[in-house]
Amino acid sequence: MAVSVGSHPLPDNHSLVSTVALCQAIDRSPADVPLLGLISGGASSLLVGPLSPLSLDDKTAVNRLLLDCGAEIGAINTVRKHLSTVKGGGLARRAAGRTMFTLVLSDVIGDDPSVIGSGPTMPDSTTFADAVAVLERYGLGGRVPSAVRDVLRRGVGGRLADTLKPEEAAAQHLGAAIIGSNRNALNGAADEARRLGYEVFVEPQPFVGDTTVAARDWAARLTHLSGRTRWCVIAGGETTVVVRGRGRGGRNQEFALAMVQELDAKAIAVLSAGSDGIDGPTDAAGALVDGTTASRAADLGLDSAAALADNDAYPFFDRLGDLLRSGPTGTNVMDVKLALGVGS
């Protein structure tokens, strides 16, 4: 068995080499042997094959712009698919009509296999025009590399083959099963909380949209549980951050930072963490915040509002000793948020 490595959340040369090796393995496999795949979150970065004449630098520039502008993952992957030879069913096309079944660990809202990892083994219903619309929606049309704009224009004009469509022959022998998801993680956490004697509430809908808005809305809802004792609220999902500052952090650390003043002096503690153990470009999975965070920060001369404005959650929580450093977990099913309260 061969193991190849890549980079996340942005691809690197190792990602390129690993993708070539995978494609060669598919090419060498017997034509009458079914193929089994495993796709998880992060595959969009680990599996990268820029559509000619794009370079890895072109792809990386687009990915960075999409991540920094707060685009949701479905929109990001729509663009990624149309700049790639392997995403959007590209690997399935390479299999040339052979039976291919994919086991999928989901890191996206809705658990759609065509979105997870940019769907390299699944047909895709999005188009080049959809990819252009995403860039325009987030004001990136004039900021992406000129080679990217040219490829998308050629695609919209019908001069490039689009991603694999459901009606194509290569899409007729494909299947997938979700073997792990955010809901599985939340249910597992709920079972453990009940075992520990907490009254448990699981949020029915995943958290999406702007991180700061979602955090403050949740803080307001949590305060309504103050009359109960020993309660636990569990939520999941994946919010987005618009990077306006020059600080360091990730969406989970920013989620906790946005709750600092909202939870001040309240008997509530919150953990927001990535299930993969990695939050943004940091060594932390997320951060903890409770009713004492604001006063402890003030004692150290830390300003939560200034840190939030600069997207600088990591050093804020690092000074407080409230970062969660679990190390990589080896899986990714989006984010998990736990709130504990002891009543008033």
Instruction: Quickly state the pLDDT bin for 227 (edges 50, 70, 90).
Output: confident
> Which spans in 29-156 are helix H?
43-46, 56-68, 73-81, 90-94, 128-137, 146-156
Rounded CA-CA distance 52/148 in Å is 10
Please state, as a whole number, how many other Cβ atoms lie within 10 Å of the Cβ of residue 303: 14
276-313 pLDDT per residue, tens: 999 999 999 999 999 999 999 999 999 999 999 999 99
Please state, as a whole number, how many other Cβ atoms lie within 10 Å of the Cβ of residue 331: 15
Q: Where are the beta strands (DSSP E) in 96-192?
A: 100-105, 174-180
70-119 pLDDT per residue, tens: 999 999 999 999 999 999 999 999 998 899 999 999 999 999 999 999 99
Rounded CA-CA distance 84/27 in Å is 18
